[in-house]
Amino acid sequence: MGPRPSFGYGPEPGSSVAPPALMTPFRSFGVVSVDGLRLLPVSDADPAASPRPRAVPNQLRQAPAWQVWVGLLIVYVVWGSTYLGIRVVVETMPPLISVGIRFLLAAVIMGIALVVLRGPSVLRVRRSALGGAIVVGILLLGGGNGGVMLGERDVASGTAALIVGVVPVMVLIVRRLTGEAIDRIQALGVLGGLVGLVVLVAPLGLNGEVSMLGIGFLVASTVAWSLGSVASSRIEMPSDPFVSTFYQFLAGATSGFLLGVLTGEANGLDPATWSDRSLLALAYLVTFGSLLGFTAFTWLLQHAPVSRVTTYAYVNPVVAVALGWAVLGEQVTPPMIAGAVLILVSVAVIVSVRRAMPPASEPEPG
């Protein structure tokens, strides 16, 4: 799964970096994603103030329309393409170790940039905020993106993107299970999304086209991403979105390496067997999925309405399916199309309802 960003999440499995103000209330403009599957909302808590201050909407900054569209195009294409990149990486590289390498490199690059541009003090955060970033990073990047990496060993990249597309649905389920109320229209969107998921994956599992284990990893990744997204709106996080992402990258890298060791991926590890194709795909995920995608998304949140920025939730799965078909020769079947339509319509219903919320409950970022 971005970051979604969360660049996600991504929804970032793969991004780096989410997905989706479509999933939890935005806090200021601090929404981070690492991939197209996922979005990492971050708290705007002031380190010198209380852990959960009231979010105050900021004014959008003026930017030429063409710049906004370039930013949207980057988010659409980069986040949508991370599924293809992940599929190529896991051809010859261990999935969880790859997660560790990807987010460690991204963290190093971002950390150096922060220190050079703004000084070492920028990385100082309260212990409670650091703990929040670690928890969210483990859930979103270790669990969310790690699950996508594991799942795409057996599931086509386009299908994986459509499964991960139910993240907004899963977020609403998590919110409801944790005591939040959702209205009937959102409940209808949840039902439609779950039906779409069944229509999409049931034929694949029943006829043996793909491993049910792979599908299970992808569904589990949506749960982990949803838990991380909800948690990120309820616990203290670093106030600066770039600093928050830096620590989430580190947490994701650490969890990826640890899970890789615990599952035996490190046994007999031989980098000489990693193909140039997989290494190039990993480099793409680091530079484009985790860094360029995040930067573009953060810039958009300061210069465009949330309702326009979150259109990536509809576009990313389409881009992923198209790239999987064009580059890897993946099949597009009638059940896949039917499931995709149900999922995307359900996401549209959920997003449209959240757009209609009053600014006090979901402020426009700026």
Model confidence pLDDT, tens digit, residues 96-108: 999 999 999 999 9
Residue type, 203: P
Q: What is the pLDDT of residues 200-252, one digit of tens each?
A: 777 766 566 677 899 899 999 989 988 988 888 788 999 888 999 999 999 99
Residue 84's pLDDT band, with cuts at 50, 70 and 90, is very high
Q: What is the pLDDT of residues 254-280, one digit of tens each?
A: 999 999 999 999 998 999 999 999 999
The answer to the question of residue 343 being in a domain is: yes
Q: Please give the structure tokens belonging to residue 46.
A: 């002031």
**Tell me, what's the pLDDT at 110?**
95
Q: What is the pLDDT of residues 289-329, one digit of tens each?
A: 989 987 888 788 778 876 677 677 778 888 888 899 899 98
Higher pLDDT, 215 or 56: 215
Beta bridge partners of 40: 32
* Count of domains observed in the chain: 1
Residue 9's pLDDT band, with cuts at 50, 70 and 90, is very low
Residue range 127-151: average pLDDT?
94
Closest CA to 86 of 218, 252, 246: 218
What's the predicted TM-score (pTM) here?
0.76
**Tell me, what's the pLDDT at 356?**
53
The answer to the question of residue 3 being in a domain is: no
Q: What is the pLDDT of residues 152-196, one digit of tens each?
A: 999 989 888 888 888 778 888 888 888 887 778 878 887 888 888
The answer to the question of residue 143 being in a domain is: yes
Residue range 45-62: average pLDDT?
45
Residue range 83-98: average pLDDT?
96
Residues 6+ apart with CB under 8 A from 16: 2, 3, 4, 5, 6, 7, 8, 9, 10, 33, 34, 35, 82, 102, 103, 106, 141, 145, 249, 285, 289, 290, 291, 293, 294
| Burial class of 317 by CB neighbour count within 10 A (0 to 12, 13 to 18, 19+) | buried
The answer to the question of residue 362 being in a domain is: no
Residue 92's pLDDT band, with cuts at 50, 70 and 90, is very high
Higher pLDDT, 197 or 70: 70
Higher pLDDT, 215 or 253: 253
Q: How many CB atoms lie within 10 A of CB 278?
A: 19
The answer to the question of residue 7 being in a domain is: no
The answer to the question of residue 259 being in a domain is: yes
Is the pLDDT reported for residue 143 higher than 80?
yes
The answer to the question of residue 202 being in a domain is: yes
Determine the structural domain holding residue 161 and report its residue range.
Answer: 31-45+63-355
Is the pLDDT reported for residue 346 higher than 70?
yes
The answer to the question of residue 250 being in a domain is: yes
Mean pLDDT score of the chain: 78
Percent of the chain with pLDDT over 70: 77
Residue 130's pLDDT band, with cuts at 50, 70 and 90, is very high
